[in-house]
Amino acid sequence: MEEYKDKEGEIIIMKTKHVMQINDKIYVAGHNGLVGSAIIRKLRKKGFENIITRSHSELDLTNQSEVQAFFETEKPDYVFMAAAKVGGIQANREALDQFMYINTMIEFNTIMAAFNTGVKKFCFLGSGCIYPRECPQPIKEEYLLTSPLEITNEGYALAKISGLKLCEYLNTHHPDKADFISVMPCNLYGPGDNYHPEHSHVIPALLRKFHDAKVNVSKEVVMWGTGSAMREFLHIDDIADACFFLMQNYSGDPGNEPNVPGMSWINIGCGSDLTMKELGAKIAGIVGFDGDITYDHIHPDGTPRKLLDSSRLFDLGWRPSISFEEGLKQTYEDYKINKDNYRK
């Protein structure tokens, strides 16, 4: 193992095939999104400035020839793959085909172009929704593909599983060339989220709903589902910190036999969850809404519970640093400024 000292003087013990150096060229795919923008902030805080990005209008990641040409021209050393088509329950269930097709194309084109051009290390951003609907809790990495997925976001989940598996197979069959890791975060939130009225994730959607109710002096807010579903949430700056940490310290677990995959993916969570009813009460308190909260049982809860087992990551020495209360307050302040600047 080697030691690496970053700009802030922190010593990183190298437990990986590769570790980023200050002058390395780093490509962050999806830099305008919630995760990508947070990763760029983290890299710059750590002193990394040789960062390349491309907007969708500049580079269509679903176009294989464009992506290959980009990698051949730019030759990045490291890649954070945070580009994806994302959305909440309603957006997913209305377009399962698009969520599967677009995400699979983005992932496969980027992963293979990175491999073909000799990228040193690749970090693929997956999702906790890859795990079965009825899964033992907390969810360990080895529970992948042990039973059926949640149908409301199955297309997105299958795309993410495919990306994870492609990274795993490249590591397995090309161990001297491939260093591709996959991270599976829980539900993410934070400043810079998409506050779309219909297609956002649960926290930005509820912030809008409770804020509008407060402004309009409504007597009640209606939440979807029964309120019993349980979710785990992680602040966006914590996921960026975890991705940076893993890029510097983790290369996956090698297989025990030739051509038998090891585990190249790792969970990222905070270690605790809460019910949607509890979440609604917290957001109501932060927003200042004092009316009633009721539940529309016609709409689905989605997966009953989704708490990741992040013990493998915690054992490496990483822990989240932003409390849920603090993170919600930050996000609400951001919402009040940017609520009309949502992505369609």
pLDDT of res. 298: 87
pTM: 0.91
Cα–Cα distance measured from residue 221 to residue 332, given in angstroms and rounded to the nearest whole number: 17
Residue 48 maps to a domain: yes
Helix or strand run (H / E) with residue 185: strand 180-185
Confidence tier at 16 by pLDDT (50, 70, 90) = confident
Per cent of the chain over pLDDT 70 is 92
Structural domain includes residue 225: no
Answer yes or no: are the C-beta atoms of 316 and 252 closer than 8 Å: no
Report if residue 340 sits inside a domain. Answer: no
Residue 211 falls inside a structural domain: no
pLDDT above 80: residue 90: no
Average pLDDT, the chain: 92
Average pLDDT over residues 113-130: 97
Domain of residue 43, CATH code: 3.40.50.720
The residue ranking higher by pLDDT, 20 or 302, is 20
Residue 246 within any structural domain of the chain: yes
Least confident of 135-139, 150-154, 196-200, 307-311: 196-200
Domain that includes residue 161, residue range = 3-193+233-272+307-322
What's the pLDDT tens digit per position in 208-256?
999 999 999 999 999 989 999 999 999 999 999 999 999 999 997 766 6
Q: Please confirm, yes or no, whether 78 is among the known catalytic residues.
A: no
Write out pLDDT tens, residues 323-332.
999 999 999 9
- Counted domains in the chain: 1
pLDDT for 74-86, tens place per residue? 999 999 999 998 8
8 A C-beta contact, residue 298 and residue 222: no
pLDDT at residue 7 is higher than 60: no
Residue 307 has pLDDT above 70, yes or no: yes
Identified catalytic residue from 27, 78, 131, 156: 156
Domain annotation covers residue 287:
no
3-state SS, one letter per residue, for 133-167? CCCCCCECHHHCCCCCCCHHHHHHHHHHHHHHHHH
Structure tokens that stand for 229 in this block: 């579903």
Instruction: Cite the DSSP H helix spans in the chain.
Output: 34-45, 64-74, 89-94, 96-116, 154-173, 202-215, 236-249, 276-287, 311-316, 324-338
pLDDT digits (tens, 9 = 90+) for 19-70: 999 999 999 999 999 999 999 999 999 999 999 999 999 999 999 999 999 9
φ, ψ of residue 68 to 5 degrees: the values are -60, -45
Within a domain: 278 = no
- Domain for residue 328, yes or no? no
